[in-house]
C-alpha cells in the first residue's frame, strides 16, 4: 500500500445528490438505454436499483419520480466538489462526469501519513453529503477500477489487489469485456499474464491503450483542475417553483461557502448576483452590492433577503445561480474596536440601497459654483468663512410666487453661467410670507415673454 | 398609616411618582435654547419618537439644529426623509452637521418609508431621523420606539398636519413670531403639557437678521419692488 500514489474518488449518485434532497422515490434514467442509472434511498427501499430497466422500475414503484440523466449537470457538480476538496488536496484531476483523482504523494509531506490525509478528505466529503467510493493505487486508472468496485462511503481504504479484480469494473466497453471473457480473461491479473503484442492482433487500439495505462506501462492523460477566479454556484430544483422563499433555505449554506471561499483568500466581494432561471421567460437577475466590500455571510443574507422580499415572480423558476464579483483583497486597516463606527454606517447604506432605487439617495455636496442649483461634486469648494447665507432646503424647481411677502434682507445678485447653456441672472431676497415662513425668493432678471418675474427657491426652515 | 421612613425609602428608590414631577422617559440633550431646556426639564430626548408640528420654513430646522449638531458625533448620520426641498450644502456646512453626515432620502412609498425608518433607527449609526409629512399608526409608533431605543436614535415627525393620537415621547408645536418662534409642549411622556416659550432668533442666528441700516429695508412691502 505504501507505493500507492493516487487516490480515486468515485461518486455514483452525483446527479441525485447535487439537487435538493427529496423524500419521494427518485431515479435517474439513461434516455438511450432506458435503464436506471441512479436512485435515491426511498427508491432503493422499493427495489429500484441501478441497472434495472425503466419498465421494471415503474412496476416496482408506482410513485417513482424520474429524471433524465444529464451529463453536464454532473460535470458541474464535480467541479463544485473539486472546489471544496481543493482546500485539502493540491493536485486534483477531473475524470468527468463522476470521478476525481487526487495525487497523494506531494500531500503526504504535509499530512504526515495517508490515514491523516484520508481522514481530512473523508470529512470534507461527508460535509458535502455525497456518496463516494474510494481506492488508492499506483496509477489513476487502476485506482478508478478499484474504487468502482468498492463499497460506498467506506471508512477504510483497504481493497483487494488489482490482479484479482474482475474486468467488469474497468473502463472497457461492455462488448470488449465480453470478448475477453470468452477467451478466458476475467481479471486484471489474467491480462497481465498475456503479452500485449498478442492481444493487439485481436483487439483494437483503444483497448490496448487502456490496458497499457491501467497496468502502468504507459502514462495517463489527465485533466487537471484549477479553481475559478470567482465564486459561482448553480443549483437546479426538483421542480419549478414560484415561491422565492425556497431560495432562502438554500442561501445560508451557499453564503457560508462564499464566506469560506473569500476568507481563505483574504478577500471581500462588492456585489453578488442571484439569478433565477425560468422556462418561459428570460432569467431574472437580482443584484446586491456593498460599497466597501463584504465577506460576512449573515450580512449578505440580510441584503439578499431584502431583495427577495420585494420580489414578485411572474413565472416559476427551475434553477438559480449565485455569482460573486471577483473579490478584492481585504485592506489591512480593519479596526478591532470600531464596532459602531463607519462599518455600521456602510452596512446601513448597503441595506437601504438593496431596497430603495439609487435616485432616492441624495448627499448635499458643496459646489464651486455660485448658482444655487448646481450641485456638482467639487473638492475646491470655498472655505467656510466665505460661505453666503443659504436656505436649509432648496426646491428642485423654483415655483412662481403668489401672494404678498415682506422682504427681510437682500438683494444678493447672482449672475453666472453665461459660459454654459444655463445662464442665471437673479436678485435673491430673504422674505417672509403671511404664514411666517422664511423664504428665499428671487427676481428673474433675464425676462422672457410673459413669464412671472418672482420665484420661490428655498425655505430657511 | 404608612410610616415616614418607609415613604422616604420608596421615594428614594423611585417607586413613588408624583403628578407634579417631571419623569422624562429618556435623558435630555441640551437643545441649545436655555428657555426650552427649562420647559423640557433638561432638553430634547436622546431617543424616542417625537413630533414637531410646524409649517415648513418657520424655523423648525433652526430649532433642532443645535441638538442635531450635538448628537452628530463621530460618523453618525442625520437622515432627512422627504423634506420640503433638497438640503443645501452651504447651509449645513455653515451651521449644522457637516454635509457628509447629512443623508437625504426621498421615499414616496409608505411601506418602504416605514421599513427604512426602522432600519435607520435600529442601526445605531443614525443619531437622528427627521421625516416630513408622515402619519404613523400606534403599532408602528411602538415598533419605532423600540428601534430608536435599540439604536439610541431619535425619530422626529415634522409637518403641519394633525396626527392621530399615538404614544409619542414628546410632541412640540411651533408657530412663528416676528424674528422668533413660539414653542408649546403639547404632549410628553412623564410630564404635562407646558408652554408656550418664546425663542428669539437674534441671539442664536444673527446672520439671518442683519442690523437695520443694511442695504435693504426690512419690512418693506413686496409690492414696492415691482411685483
pLDDT band at B211 (very low <50, low <70, confident <90, very high): low
End-to-end CA distance of chain A: 85
Q: Which residue, of A118, A144, A161, is where some domain finishes?
A: A161
Q: How large a percentage of chain B has pLDDT more than 90? A: 41
Give the distance from residue B188's alpha carbon to the nearest chain A alpha carbon, in angstroms: 24
Instruction: Closest CB to B222: pick one of A348, A391, A431.
Output: A431
How far is residue A23's CA from residue A40's CA, in Å, rounded to a whole number? 9
Q: What is the pLDDT of residues B60-116, one digit of tens each?
A: 999 999 999 988 877 789 999 999 998 988 888 888 888 888 999 999 999 999 999
Domain assignment present for residue A416? The answer is: yes
Residues A268 and A349 both lie in one domain: yes
When CB atoms are compared, the residue of A348, A364, A437 closest to B104 is A364
Single out the residue in A161, A183, A212 at which a domain terminates. Answer: A161
Asked whether residue A192 is domain-assigned, the answer is no
Find, in chain B, the residue whose alpha carbon is nearest to that of A362. B104
Determine the number of helices (DSSP H) and then strands (DSSP E) in chain B: 7, 11
Q: Are residues A252 and A140 in the same domain?
A: no
- Pick among B117, B199, B225 to test the A interface (most A CBs inside 10 A): B225
The pLDDT value given to residue B227? 41
What ipTM describes this predicted complex? 0.83
The rounded distance, in Å, linking the Cα atoms of A165 and A160 is: 7
- In angstroms, the separation between the Cα of residue A429 and the nearest Cα of chain B is 9
Structural domains counted in chain A: 3
Q: What is the pLDDT of residues B129-159, one digit of tens each?
A: 999 998 889 999 999 999 999 988 999 999 9
What range does the domain containing A443 cover? 388-459
* pLDDT of amino acid B225: 43
Same domain, A39 and A143: yes
B26 or A348, higher pLDDT: A348
Sort out which chain A residues have CB atoms less than 8 A from B87's CB and list them: 362, 364, 392-394
Q: Would you call A75 an interface residue with chain B, using a CB distance cutoff of 8 Å?
A: no
Q: Name which of B180, B225, B227, B173 is nearest B200 in CA terms.
A: B180
Same domain, yes or no, for A137 and A255?
A: no
Q: Please report, for the domain that includes residue A86, its CATH number.
A: 3.40.1170.60
Q: What is the pLDDT of residue B153?
A: 92
What Rg, from alpha-carbon coordinates, does chain A have? 35
| Residue A373 placed within a domain | no
Residue A84, SS3 per DSSP: helix
Q: Are residues A15 and A148 in the same domain?
A: yes
Chain A segment 371-410 residues within 8 A of B by beta carbon are 372, 375, 384, 387-396, 401, 404-410
- The H or E element containing residue B69 is helix B60-71
DSSP state of B54: -
A 10 A CB-CB count for A332 gives 6
Provide the pLDDT for residue A148: 87
CB < 8 Å to B126, chain A: 348
Q: What is the pLDDT of residue A2?
A: 47
List % helix, strand, coil for chain A (3-state, nearest 5): 35, 25, 40
Residues A149 and A237 in one domain: no
Please give the pLDDT value at position B52. Answer: 93
Q: Which of A161, A187, A211 is the last residue of a domain?
A: A161
Residue A364 in domain: no
Q: What is the pLDDT of residue B76?
A: 85
Task: List, in order of start, the domains of chain B with CATH numbers.
Answer: 42-198 (3.40.50.300)
- A115 close contact with B: CB closer than 8 A: no
Tell me which chain B residue has its CA closest to the CA of residue A427: B225
What pLDDT does residue B49 have? 93
Q: Does A356 touch chain B (CB under 8 A)?
A: yes
Distance CA A425, CA A371 (A): 9
Residue ranges in chain A whose pLDDT is less than 50 = 1-2, 338-340, 376-377, 379
Q: A306: domain CATH number?
A: 3.30.1490.100
Q: Nearest-CA distance from B103 to chain A in Å?
A: 5
* In-domain check, residue A216: no
Amino acid at each position: 500500500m505504501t507505493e500507492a500514489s493516487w487516490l480515486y474518488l468515485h461518486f455514483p449518485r452525483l446527479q441525485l445528490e447535487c439537487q435538493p434532497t427529496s423524500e419521494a422515490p427518485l431515479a435517474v434514467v439513461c434516455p438511450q438505454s432506458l435503464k436506471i442509472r441512479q436512485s435515491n434511498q426511498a427508491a432503493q427501499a422499493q427495489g429500484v436499483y441501478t441497472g434495472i430497466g425503466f419498465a421494471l422500475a415503474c412496476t416496482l414503484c408506482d410513485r417513482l419520480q424520474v429524471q433524465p440523466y444529464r451529463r453536464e449537470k454532473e460535470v458541474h457538480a464535480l467541479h463544485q466538489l473539486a472546489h471544496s476538496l481543493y482546500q485539502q488536496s493540491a493536485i486534483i484531476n477531473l475524470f468527468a462526469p463522476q470521478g476525481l483523482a487526487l495525487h497523494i504523494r506531494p500531500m503526504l509531506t504535509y499530512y504526515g501519513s495517508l490515514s491523516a490525509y484520508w481522514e481530512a478528505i473523508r470529512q470534507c466529503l461527508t460535509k458535502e453529503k455525497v456518496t463516494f467510493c474510494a481506492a488508492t493505487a499506483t496509477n489513476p486508472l487502476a485506482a478508478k477500477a478499484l474504487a468502482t468496485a468498492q463499497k460506498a462511503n467506506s471508512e477504510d481504504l483497504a481493497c483487494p489487489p488489482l490482479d484479482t479484480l474482475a474486468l467488469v469494473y474497468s473502463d472497457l466497453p461492455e462488448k470488449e469485456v465480453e470478448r475477453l471473457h470468452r477467451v478466458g480473461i476475467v481479471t486484471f491479473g489474467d491480462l497481465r499474464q498475456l503479452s500485449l503484442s498478442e492481444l493487439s492482433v485481436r483487439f483494437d487500439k483503444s483497448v490496448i491503450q487502456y490496458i497499457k495505462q491501467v497496468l502502468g506501462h504507459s502514462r495517463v492523460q489527465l485533466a487537471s483542475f484549477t479553481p475559478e477566479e470567482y465564486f459561482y454556484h448553480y443549483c437546479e430544483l426538483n421542480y419549478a417553483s414560484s415561491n422565492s422563499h425556497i431560495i432562502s433555505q438554500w442561501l445560508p449554506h451557499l453564503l457560508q461557502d462564499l464566506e469560506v471561499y473569500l476568507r481563505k483568500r483574504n478577500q471581500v466581494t462588492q456585489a453578488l448576483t442571484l439569478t433565477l432561471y425560468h422556462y418561459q421567460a428570460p432569467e431574472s437577475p437580482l443584484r446586491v452590492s456593498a460599497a466597501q466590500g463584504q465577506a460576512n455571510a449573515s450580512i449578505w443574507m440580510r441584503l439578499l433577503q431584502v431583495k427577495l422580499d420585494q420580489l414578485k415572480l411572474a413565472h416559476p423558476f427551475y434553477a438559480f445561480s449565485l455569482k460573486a464579483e471577483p473579490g478584492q483583497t481585504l485592506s489591512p486597516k480593519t479596526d478591532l474596536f470600531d464596532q459602531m463606527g463607519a462599518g455600521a454606517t456602510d452596512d446601513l447604506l448597503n441595506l437601504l440601497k438593496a431596497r430603495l432605487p439609487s435616485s432616492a439617495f441624495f448627499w448635499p455636496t458643496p459646489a464651486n459654483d455660485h448658482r444655487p442649483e448646481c450641485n456638482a461634486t467639487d473638492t475646491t469648494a470655498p472655505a467656510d468663512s466665505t460661505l453666503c447665507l443659504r436656505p436649509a432646503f432648496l426646491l428642485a424647481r423654483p415655483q412662481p410666487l403668489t401672494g404678498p411677502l415682506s422682504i427681510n434682507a437682500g438683494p444678493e445678485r447672482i449672475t453666472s453661467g453665461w459660459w454654459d447653456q444655463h445662464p442665471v441672472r437673479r436678485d435673491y431676497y430673504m422674505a417672509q410670507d403671511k404664514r411666517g415662513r422664511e423664504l428665499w425668493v428671487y427676481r428673474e432678471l433675464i425676462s422672457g415673454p410673459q413669464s412671472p418675474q418672482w420665484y420661490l427657491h428655498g425655505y430657511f426652515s | 398609616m404608612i410610616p415616614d421612613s418607609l415613604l422616604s425609602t420608596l421615594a428614594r428608590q423611585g417607586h413613588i411618582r408624583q403628578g407634579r414631577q417631571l419623569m422624562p422617559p429618556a435623558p435630555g440633550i441640551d437643545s441649545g435654547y436655555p428657555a426650552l431646556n427649562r420647559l423640557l426639564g433638561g432638553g430634547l430626548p436622546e431617543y424616542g419618537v417625537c413630533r414637531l408640528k410646524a409649517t415648513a420654513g418657520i424655523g423648525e430646522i433652526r430649532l433642532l439644529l443645535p441638538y442635531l449638531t450635538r448628537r452628530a458625533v463621530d460618523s453618525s448620520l442625520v437622515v432627512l426623509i422627504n423634506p420640503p426641498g433638497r438640503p443645501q450644502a452651504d447651509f449645513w456646512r455653515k451651521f449644522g452637521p457637516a454635509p457628509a453626515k447629512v443623508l437625504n432620502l426621498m421615499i414616496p412609498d409608505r411601506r418602504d418609508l416605514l421599513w427604512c425608518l426602522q432600519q435607520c433607527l435600529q442601526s445605531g449609526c443614525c443619531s437622528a431621523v427627521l421625516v416630513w409629512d408622515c402619519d404613523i399608526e400606534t403599532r408602528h409608533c411602538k415598533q419605532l420606539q423600540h428601534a430608536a431605543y435599540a439604536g439610541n436614535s431619535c425619530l422626529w415627525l415634522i409637518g403641519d398636519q394633525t396626527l392621530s393620537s399615538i404614544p409619542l415621547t414628546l410632541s412640540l408645536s411651533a408657530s412663528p413670531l416676528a424674528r422668533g418662534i413660539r414653542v408649546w409642549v403639547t404632549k410628553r411622556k412623564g410630564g404635562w403639557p407646558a408652554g408656550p416659550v418664546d425663542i428669539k432668533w437674534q441671539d442664536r442666528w444673527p446672520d439671518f437678521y442683519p442690523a437695520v441700516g443694511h442695504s435693504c429695508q426690512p419690512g418693506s412691502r413686496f409690492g414696492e419692488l415691482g411685483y
